[in-house]
Amino acid sequence: MSFYSIGFVLFFPFVVLVYYAMPKKYQNGWLLIGSYFFYACWSVKHTVILFLVTMLTYISARAMQGKWKKLVLSGCLIANLSVLLFLKYGQYGAGILGKIFHYDAQISIAVPIGLSFYMLQALGYVIDVYRQKTVPEKNFVRYALFVSFFPTILSGPIERSTHLLKQIQEGTSFSYAKAKRGLILIVYGFFEKVLIADRIAAIVDYTYENHMEYSGVTILFVVILYAIQIYTDFAGYSNMAFGIAQVFGFEVIINFKQPYFALNIRDFWKRWHISLSKWLQDYVYIPLGGNRKGKVRTYCNLMLTFLVSGMWHGNGFKYFVWGGLHGIYQVAGRITEKSRNTVKGKLHINTDCWSYRLFQRVITFAMVDFAWIFFSAGSFFDAIELIRKIFFRFNLLGAIYVKEYLLLGMEESRWVLLFLYIAVVGIIDKLHEEKISILAWFEKQNVLFRWGVYLMGVLVILIGTLYNFGTESASFIYTRF
């Protein structure tokens, strides 16, 4: 069941109504039933894996007492990571081995949806218990709900025991302000997903499939669109997840903070998929030694962390390259930091002005977008082909002359609408960047104006949904991981 399926439109209000109608002590149980039902709608078979992972981590955390602590943790990590590696990379690995040893490696493994997310969440909890940051949860229902909480199970945010589990333990009660904010965020998430990400998805998929027909400038244009697609897709999902959780009275981790306003790559990773970055920092980078063991070790740790991040995203070599590129960006950034500052000082470059920040943002975006080529292309070699075209067959004048953008499968009026929608997201992000709360401003407006905007907003999204209906609309990109 996807957030934008007819089933969910019925499921969500029903779960909310019953949740608030029942006594507080049963609320977690009800939400757990709802979460398992939600997940089972994707696959009953994979629900068993979810349950087993939950059981294993629950028992491990409870068993983590005395001198066997380390052994239990190691066993739990090995068992869970083996499951993750087998399900996620088994098919890919068998294929590679098949090529090397010349045998037919026809095995098919369906990766459970959301596995990478709930697995990290559960492992984070076990490590937190080991580090005594969290007390092992005795109540299985509460813990199972923490792992399977339906707003976050498919694509995160990857929650922490110190955050979500704590709220589950304390319980929630109805908050008018939270519920209202939640609904607004759900609608905004829909807007990002349906009106922007899905529209761009059709263009990107078509262009990547037929890239031989396009000039480098058009490919570059589509690569930039992809950066917007993946942002609006994932941020759209995260906003919906955040909003749904808020309706139940829960706060989940904010996953995005205007990532394309980042001034450098380090800043980008503080704004993009924050829950994963933080998880990798706390459970991979710091245990490896972080920046405490000298420069070379820091660089190695950074590279390793980003390679793990790449591998977490998928089982193709392209993801490895994508992670590696971000690692290189970070390492290169640190190595050159001093010399760059020296140059800036000698040239008397004013770094505290709007134009310099814009320059930094453009450079950061270009680097991030370059890495997205590997992320989005069908394979590593497809990505190389796209890059080759961008650099060696740019052909700007030719593309303008034949209006190549019109050959991307969308009419001129649709382009105008798409850019209008992108501008709305851009303005909202800019206001958030300036710490201006749109909701607070909106709350001060006349009730007729507010309701008019709400109604028209939902109507526009509905019409947009109908526009995409019947086409192979893109699923949420991050649910594939």
Partner 1 sequence: MRTFYKKVVLFVVLLGGLCIAVELMSLDGFGRSIVAEYTGSEEYIAENVGAAEIMPYIEKVRQKDETTILILGDSVCNQMLDPLQPLNEDVCIAGTNSAISLTGQYILAKEYVTNHANVSDIYLFFRPDSLNVTFTTTWGYQYAVMPFAETDTLSLLDADTIAKMKAVYGGFFMKKSIAGMIDRSAINRKIYLNMLNRYSTEYTQSYGYEIADRYVEKIYDLCKENGIQLHMLSCPVAESERNSVELKKSAYEKSWLYTVFPDFLENVLYVEDVEFGDGVHFGGEYATSEHYNEKLKIIFGDTDLMDVLKFE
Residues acting as catalytic residues: 313
C-beta separation of 190 from 4 below 8 A = yes
C-beta separation of 252 from 242 below 8 A = yes
Which of residues 116, 364, 468, 479 is near partner 1 by CB under 8 A?
468
Output 31 or 399, the one with its CB closest to partner 1: 31
Question: Cα(399)–Cα(388) distance, rounded to whole angstroms?
Answer: 17
Q: Rounded to the nearest whole angstrom, what is the least distance from the CB of residue 320 to partner 1 in the complex? A: 37
Which of residues 406, 466, 472, 480 is near partner 1 by CB under 8 A?
466
Is residue 442 within the footprint of partner 1 (CB under 8 A)?
no
Which of residues 353, 463, 472, 480 is near partner 1 by CB under 8 A?
463
Question: Cα(216)–Cα(221) distance, rounded to whole angstroms?
Answer: 9
C-beta separation of 333 from 264 below 8 A = yes
Pick the stretch among 41-49, 120-128, 294-302, 463-471 that binds partner 1 (CB under 8 A): 463-471
Output 183 or 407, the one with its CB closest to partner 1: 183
Output 128 or 198, the one with its CB closest to partner 1: 198
What is the residue type of 174? Answer: F
Output 224 or 417, the one with its CB closest to partner 1: 417
Which of residues 101, 354, 392, 469 is near partner 1 by CB under 8 A?
469
Q: Rounded to the nearest whole angstrom, what is the least distance from the CB of residue 480 to partner 1 in the complex? A: 21
Looking only at residues 18 through 47 of this chain, which bind partner 1 when binding is defined by CB under 8 A?
A: 20
Q: Rounded to the nearest whole angstrom, what is the least distance from the CB of residue 464 to partner 1 in the complex? A: 9
Distance, CA of 148 to chain centre: 17
Is residue 419 within the footprint of partner 1 (CB under 8 A)?
no
Please state, as a whole number, how many other Cβ atoms lie within 10 Å of the Cβ of residue 293: 12
- Tell me how many residues contact partner 1 (CB under 8 A): 19
Two structure tokens written together for 246: 């808020």
C-beta separation of 313 from 294 below 8 A = no
Binding mask 156-195 for partner 1 (x = CB under 8 A): ------------------x-x--xx--x------------
Nearest to 234 by CA among 260, 265, 267, 197: 197
| Inter-residue long-range contacts of 163-169, CB under 8 Å, 24+ positions, other chains counted | 163/251, 163/252, 163/253, 164/250, 164/252, 165/125, 165/134, 165/137, 167/250, 167/251, 168/28, 168/142, 168/250, 169/137, 169/139, 169/142
C-beta separation of 211 from 219 below 8 A = yes
Q: Rounded to the nearest whole angstrom, what is the least distance from the CB of residue 7 to partner 1 in the complex? A: 12
Output 198 or 233, the one with its CB closest to partner 1: 198
Output 210 or 471, the one with its CB closest to partner 1: 471
Question: Cα(237)–Cα(34) distance, rounded to whole angstroms?
Answer: 19
Q: Rounded to the nearest whole angstrom, what is the least distance from the CB of residue 424 to partner 1 in the complex? A: 17
Output 90 or 457, the one with its CB closest to partner 1: 457
Is residue 459 within the footprint of partner 1 (CB under 8 A)?
yes
**Rounded alpha-carbon distances, angstroms, from residue 145 to 8, 33, 254, 348:** 19, 9, 19, 56
Q: Rounded to the nearest whole angstrom, what is the least distance from the CB of residue 471 to partner 1 in the complex? A: 8
Is residue 455 within the footprint of partner 1 (CB under 8 A)?
yes
Which of residues 49, 288, 311, 458 is near partner 1 by CB under 8 A?
458
Q: Rounded to the nearest whole angstrom, what is the least distance from the CB of residue 9 to partner 1 in the complex? A: 11
If phi > 0 it is left, if psi is from -120 to 50 it is alpha, else beta; for residue 131 that is alpha
Is residue 395 helix, strand or coil?
Answer: coil
Q: Rounded to the nearest whole angstrom, what is the least distance from the CB of residue 416 to partner 1 in the complex? A: 13
Output 439 or 455, the one with its CB closest to partner 1: 455
Is residue 454 within the footprint of partner 1 (CB under 8 A)?
yes
Distance, CA of 456 to chain centre: 28
Pick the stretch among 73-81, 147-155, 340-348, 458-466 that binds partner 1 (CB under 8 A): 458-466
Pick the stretch among 107-115, 249-257, 425-433, 461-469 that binds partner 1 (CB under 8 A): 461-469
Which of residues 24, 423, 451, 453 is near partner 1 by CB under 8 A?
451
Residues with Cβ within 8 Å of residue 34, at least 6 apart in sequence: 11, 15, 19, 150
Is residue 470 within the footprint of partner 1 (CB under 8 A)?
yes
Q: Rounded to the nearest whole angstrom, what is the least distance from the CB of residue 475 to partner 1 in the complex? A: 15
Nearest to 427 by CA among 415, 412, 441, 447: 441
Residues with Cβ within 8 Å of residue 185, at least 6 apart in sequence: 239, 240, 242, 243, 246
Which of residues 328, 432, 467, 475 is near partner 1 by CB under 8 A?
467
Residues binding partner 1 (CB under 8 A): 20, 174, 176, 179-180, 183, 451, 454-455, 458-459, 462-463, 466-471
